[in-house]
Structure 1
């Protein structure tokens, strides 16, 4: 995926990187099967890769929080989000030679 430098610069402090983690493998597998559009075991297999960057502004454990609670946490977080955001930190780590504006 190609991003324009201008687009990255404009959105980096407004973007909130939220991690939806389901650390209960049984629940993750059930969610995957309920979707019905993924090969069995794909979510567990890709879990480490998907979360390998390790930097989020906010994380929700979807094995414990409901589909109502997770967006509520995000809504409550937005007015007090810190700067720099996880997006800004990841951008600096992955694109160190691209100046931030």
Structure 2
């Protein structure tokens, strides 16, 4: 699943994200938009690097403590259907859950 970073809690575009959790599609930071990419581990925690938009996409690993808002691309979610071998409803439902953050309402 691919998404655009809209908002997050900390860090610089070249910083690292620690203490990440798996479940969400895309994560965000306040000062930059881009994509997170898994880079490895540090002190037992997964580390992720924020890339410039369009450079690279990352898979469905998330950074729970850093998430504030996420924008999932519909075409990317649709394109993931044949690869995952799932029905069209499953990825779309997951994308809606990601987009609807209870803490933020537009």
TM bracket, shorter-chain basis: under 0.3
Q: Give the number of the structure whose alpha-carbon radius of gyration is greater.
A: 1
TM-score in terms of structure 1 length: 0.27
Scaled by the length of structure 2, the TM-score of the pair is 0.26
**Is the helix fraction higher in 1 or 2?**
1
Q: Which has the higher strand share?
A: 2
